[in-house]
Structure 1
Amino acid sequence: MSQEQIKITLPDESIREYASGASAMDVAVSISEGLARNVLAAEVNGEVWDANRPMSQDSSVKLLTWNDQDGKSTFWHSSAHLMAEALEALYPGVKLGIGPAIENGYYYDVDFGEQEFDSAHLEKIEQKMLELARQKNTFIRKDISKADAVKYFESKGDEYKLELIEGLDDGSITFYEQGNFTDLCRGPHIPHTGFIKAIKCLSVAGAYWRGDEKRKQLTRIYGITFPKQKELTQYLHMLEEAKKRDHRKLGKELDLFTFSEKVGMGLPLWLPKGAKLRERLESFMRKAQVRSGYEPVVTPHIGHKDLYVTSGHYQKYGADSFQPISTPHEGEEFLLKPMNCPHHCEIYKSRPRSYKDLPVRYAEFGTVYRYEQSGELHGLTRVRGFTQDDAHIFCMQDQVKDEFTKVIDLVLYVFESLGFEDYTAQISLRDPENKEKYIGSDEAWEKAERAIIEAATEKGLNTVTELGEAAFYGPKLDFMVKDALGRKWQLGTIQVDYTLPERFELEYTGSDNQKHRPVMIHRAPFGSLERFVAVLIEHCGGEFPLWLTPDQVAILPISEKYADYAQELYKVLESEDITGFVDNRDEKIGRKIRDAEVKKIPIMLIVGEKEAADRAVSVRRHGHGDAGSFSIEEFITYFNNEKADSLSQR
């Protein structure tokens, strides 16, 4: 009797037949031995599987290698298991929490009990992992009953795994084994440990079990692995570059911002130079918004609780995002503003609207407040108070796509002006399997999702679609920007919302003289100024374009004899809107130049006897050296041309 055959559909739509029980690896071998040597896992009917897991029905299969994100994730998840095996070998009795893959690498949460452990031990773990990897132990998947899973971890005395098992259904539990190590895991994993050739344990941190500050703090060990040593070397070089560009380090060196424990964690204080940088970004955005038909509005930093109950935000986020404000009158409930959109709805509602008024576009640099756990705060990228370049567009249904397209144009203008040239637009939709997470009708969601997809397609954006990443009130288009080091950041966002107009009972009178609901579009090209500035600092290494940099020139007199001319020059440049400072320190000119270079001042103006006599300046450019001698008038023209180029050439 011939064995039952199954049909496998590959990404190019070609169909191949295999015996039932064939694996994705069998498919790879049948295509090419070279391909098979690089296959780490497979996507089977949309789910990532072990490459060696047998298939028993017709399936769509995509083979995953290191070039696929899911391939990397599988590789790093398997590396976490390898780390756990090394830890058990080196520290007998250690108890293990969880060990997932993350965006770059993996971590494992560990309870060392009474055993000593610190970052000095990381190299020892690396060596043990390499030793185990060379054994090329196969990752073996095993289905196991809940009772047997409990029995296994009870015998090990591992309460963390037992707690995880409590939340699992019998019949859905799997173990994975490699070598002498067994772990509770749903998988998938790479075929064997031998794929892991280069290993680096990066850092150690504390992590509360299951993120609960009332639970025990475990030791979290971060690591990263690669299939080639060359790739690890390149990655470590990138990390060193990232340290140099760290916005917290550069923010301090460039006098941009600071934090104070007395003011409160996660509440940045902008220093004069940082405030100047912010003001220029805001001015840049305001001009772009005016050209695009936006009207400025200003709303309070607080709002009555009823505002957020009406919007649905309070029920959705509760005390996690909303901080109460004490008042002298009992029964009054005011909250720090965590978002601007409910206030803008009330502005729209302040007077009757006609279809002739639409679209209405309100823009505000609104500061909002959200409570983040102290362990999640990170410089300017995760703060508790931040300013959004927020705007809300109220329009008719037949205007949605056109308005959405115009917002895309604005976001791209911002990115191009600031040198962000590599970005992906993420279309964030509802999770169709979990619709109860969202508010609003299916019809409204379908309209909104269709408008976003069509606008992104017509603009020719490089897009990815993510199910389950929509806001609770509507789908969105998130712009994922890749910086100079290849790291991805989520910056600009655009969201279509049919829900808030319904909840706030917003209306306009249509051409049919009937009342209709407007559609609302939320948009923030920067996202938040704090996060945007952090990413911008790291992207350009603190070397801002000339139009944006806080101190555009440093005037460096050779000696105090030329201090008066330097001050006169400063006043002339200030009147021409050229900002900077005079370095009147009693230092040699070489030291002044070096210090200006460290501060990344774009233009240095050296003034001495000849310059004072000729009413001229000797110009040096940061990182480029001497640029020649100019009269004051010539320099002003030169500066303005360079400033214009720094904006238009992007």
Structure 2
Amino acid sequence: MHSADYKRPVDDVSASEIRLTFPDGNARSFPAGTTPAQVAESISKSLAKKAISATVDGAHYDLQWPIEHDASIAINTMQDDGPALELIRHDLAHIMARAVQEIWPEVKVTIGPVIQNGWYYDFDREEPFTPEDLSAIEKKMKEIINRRDPVTTEVWDRERAIKYYEANNEPYKVELVEAIPEDQQIRMYWHGHWQDLCRGPHLQHTGQVPADAFKLMSVAGAYWRGDSDRQMLQRIYGVAFKNREDLKAYLTMIEEAAKRDHRRLGKEMELFHLQEEAPGMVFWHPNGWTIYRTLEDYMRRRLSRAGYKEIKTPQVVDRILWERSGHWEAYRENMFIVEVEEEHAKEKRMNALKPMNCPCHVQVYNQGLKSYRDLPLRLAEFGSCHRYESSGSMHGLMRVRGFTQDDAHIFCTEDQIEQETAHFLELLSSIYRDLGFAKFDIKLSTRPDVRVGSDEIWDKAETALENAIRKVTNDYEIDPGEGAFYGPKLDFKLTDAIGREWQCGTFQADFNLPVRLDAEYVGEDGAKHRPVMLHRAILGSFERFLGILIENYAGKLPFWLAPRQVVVASIVSDADDYVNEVVEKLQARGIRAEADTRNEKINYKVREHSLGKVPVLLAIGMKEVEDRSVSIRRLGERSTETATLEQIVEDLAAESLPPDLA
């Protein structure tokens, strides 16, 4: 909108009027109760036609909602991706529920929120939905969209809403109405003749939803209100975008993601497995453990050079420490508890497998008096942690119950926060580049409403983090109010080869735990002070990061990380002795090489080792034996090349070096 589009502002605002300020700074007065639709109409007819919603004082408003107070306002159109996608997906949730009830009137509806890339809706239906049912629902949804039915809304009182849903035999809606707090509105929406309870906002008619840019994806079970003692419902998931091209791109990405699924590749490459007797715990096979150890060795070298001192702390710790740190109260339901009967105490003591390393690191710090000269002190641990995750949330390596963090805590003074943040950002950026992730996003989460520490300390911590980021990049996002209760934090999201984002690294400033666990240092003034504790991780957890690496590279890991780097395969059995000699020379240079002298055709061997994602296959027949050469075939390439034995050993030895040693 441009200022020229506005009518002349009114300067004299009466008590029954409100003043609305537009994005360009211009302000106008309107009668109290004016709707965003009326505001858009007052600006221009073309804007009124394009308008889909409004942003009022940062809140997303339906065009039909009255505005009763002075506010900032921006009119949204389909060009505004965030509001547009939210409305499209929210309306499709209602349209899907309406379609289900038009096909099967006996089905009872519950809730249908917007989620990433789409929505879901939960239904109570005796018969399970089938793939054929999903096709029928999609067809009916498109019919509803083409009807262009108006969407209207009203605010009802609680008694009227309950009577309406009782009369329509919708018990889940009755329960939802009864749970709405007394001070909140009960808003009813109609999409044509079909009605739903909803906070809104919504589009103005069903025809505003693009009919060719959505797809129903799957059906899953879901307990009503997440309670396993309640009714099992059927949850239908859908995805939606602004246009057909975006939908097609998303579905292509999903197809590519399925090909890269680390669980499938883990089986093909013989990396790991999981089983019912140890849910959420990884059984690493030799190939997978080789990748794990290679990555761990790389991280250990990088941390050592960056001034970290590696430690190891216990896995089982008495509840007393968790109570002092605050984790027992805040995190008890996610902790594995172990009861131990101590002979000397003649009583049972309650212990917990550690879900994080922080309190134990403070215990190491507290051994011996620390001076300001000892700071910053960087303590690192590849700490084995356990957290109780629900069975439904676990997913291969991406979400497990037993995992190892590349964890570290930096104890420093307040004046050192900025330099330690910059030091960490430099290290993290370098490691991500080495591992193939040149692009990552930074989010700075600032003070929440409920927090510990003075505003002065928060000002210092937030300013220090932001100043440190700016020394590296100006490309970061501020997430107001989303910091931890003990301090602001930085979160780092990687973008993989097919455009997916993964939350991995984190950096948090903590003024709380050193107080709770009595950490101190002697300052330059001779008095005792509390250190600041900086929590930081780069990979997050080895298990999850390895899953991300496998999917990012589709199993074709960089040569230095590949568990089986070279297979030397014989074409004829007379070449076996030379094959073994080549393997020995490669292994002597630290290359993970193995021989394949089975009585199988070379094409069979090529196919098998390609499926196992072996980066380099050296084929040897009698010609290679005579010439003391090798025939080289790299994974994903059809052509082959020939090199002398000495040359290939030197080349592969150089290629096998990790990035920090190359």
Contact 2:35-2:63 within 8 A present in 1 as well:
yes
Contact 1:97-1:108 within 8 A present in 2 as well:
yes
- Separation (CA, whole Å) in 2 of partners of 1:554 and 1:325: 50
- Separation (CA, whole Å) in 1 of partners of 2:476 and 2:309: 30
Query: Which structure 2 residues correspond to residues 432-581 of structure 1 after superposition, within 5 A?
Result: 432=449, 435=450, 438-581=451-594
Contact 1:299-1:343 within 8 A present in 2 as well:
yes
Describe the superposition over 1:346-395 as per-residue Cα deviations: whole angstroms up to 9, x where unpaired: 00001111111111101111110000111111111111111100000001
- 2:197 aligned residue (181, 184, 199): 184
Relative to the length of structure 2, the TM-score reads 0.91
Deviation at 1:409, TM superposition (A): 1.4
Deviation at 1:121, TM superposition (A): 0.9
Map of 2:153 onto structure 1: 141
Deviation at 1:42, TM superposition (A): 2.8
Matched, 1:324 2:335: no
Deviation at 1:202, TM superposition (A): 0.3
- Separation (CA, whole Å) in 2 of partners of 1:35 and 1:634: 70
Map of 2:7 onto structure 1: none
- Separation (CA, whole Å) in 2 of partners of 1:497 and 1:3: 48
Contact 1:195-1:227 within 8 A present in 2 as well:
no
Q: Do the aligned partners of residues 481 and 221 (structure 1) sit closer, same or farther apart at CA in structure 2, a change above 3 Å counting?
A: same
Q: Do the aligned partners of residues 468 and 74 (structure 1) sit closer, same or farther apart at CA in structure 2, a change above 3 Å counting?
A: farther
Q: Do the aligned partners of residues 24 and 647 (structure 1) sit closer, same or farther apart at CA in structure 2, a change above 3 Å counting?
A: farther
Map of 1:428 onto structure 2: 445
Residue type of the alignment partner of 1:313: H
Describe the superposition over 1:18-69 as per-residue Cα deviations: whole angstroms up to 9, x where unpaired: 6445554566677787776665433211111124434344432344446533
Matched, 1:194 2:197: no
- Separation (CA, whole Å) in 1 of partners of 2:578 and 2:498: 43
Describe the superposition over 1:61-109 as per-residue Cα deviations: whole angstroms up to 9, x where unpaired: 3444465334322321111111111111111121122100101110001
What secondary structure, in the 3-state scheme, does the structure 1 residue paired with 2:372 have? coil
- 2:291 aligned residue (243, 258, 277): 277
Map of 1:15 onto structure 2: 26
- 1:350 aligned residue (356, 367, 371): 367
* Number of equivalences: 642
Describe the superposition over 1:505-548 as per-residue Cα deviations: whole angstroms up to 9, x where unpaired: 11111111111111100111001111111122222211111121
Deviation at 1:476, TM superposition (A): 1.2
Map of 2:305 onto structure 1: 291
Matched, 1:361 2:378: yes
Structure 1 residue runs without a partner (length 5+): none
Query: Which structure 2 residues correspond to residues 33-432 of structure 1 after superposition, within 5 A?
Result: 39-64=51-76, 65=78, 68-112=81-125, 114-170=126-182, 172-196=185-209, 197-198=211-212, 199-262=214-277, 264-327=278-341, 329=343, 330-432=347-449
Contact 2:583-2:594 within 8 A present in 1 as well:
yes
What secondary structure, in the 3-state scheme, does the structure 2 residue paired with 1:332 have? strand
Q: Do the aligned partners of residues 32 and 334 (structure 1) sit closer, same or farther apart at CA in structure 2, a change above 3 Å counting?
A: same
- Separation (CA, whole Å) in 2 of partners of 1:235 and 1:38: 26
- Separation (CA, whole Å) in 1 of partners of 2:309 and 2:566: 34
Deviation at 1:605, TM superposition (A): 0.9
- Separation (CA, whole Å) in 2 of partners of 1:299 and 1:510: 27
Describe the superposition over 1:213-259 as per-residue Cα deviations: whole angstroms up to 9, x where unpaired: 12111101001123322322222221111111111111111111100
What secondary structure, in the 3-state scheme, does the structure 1 residue paired with 2:525 have? coil
Contact 1:495-1:523 within 8 A present in 2 as well:
yes
Deviation at 1:580, TM superposition (A): 2.9
Q: Do the aligned partners of residues 66 and 284 (structure 1) sit closer, same or farther apart at CA in structure 2, a change above 3 Å counting?
A: farther
- Separation (CA, whole Å) in 2 of partners of 1:28 and 1:536: 49
Instruction: Provide the alpha-carbon RMSD of the alignment.
Output: 2.5
- Separation (CA, whole Å) in 2 of partners of 1:223 and 1:525: 33
Contact 1:225-1:232 within 8 A present in 2 as well:
yes
- Separation (CA, whole Å) in 1 of partners of 2:339 and 2:50: 58
Contact 1:545-1:647 within 8 A present in 2 as well:
no
Structure 2 residue runs without a partner (length 5+): 1-9
- Separation (CA, whole Å) in 1 of partners of 2:48 and 2:172: 37
Residue type of the alignment partner of 2:589: E
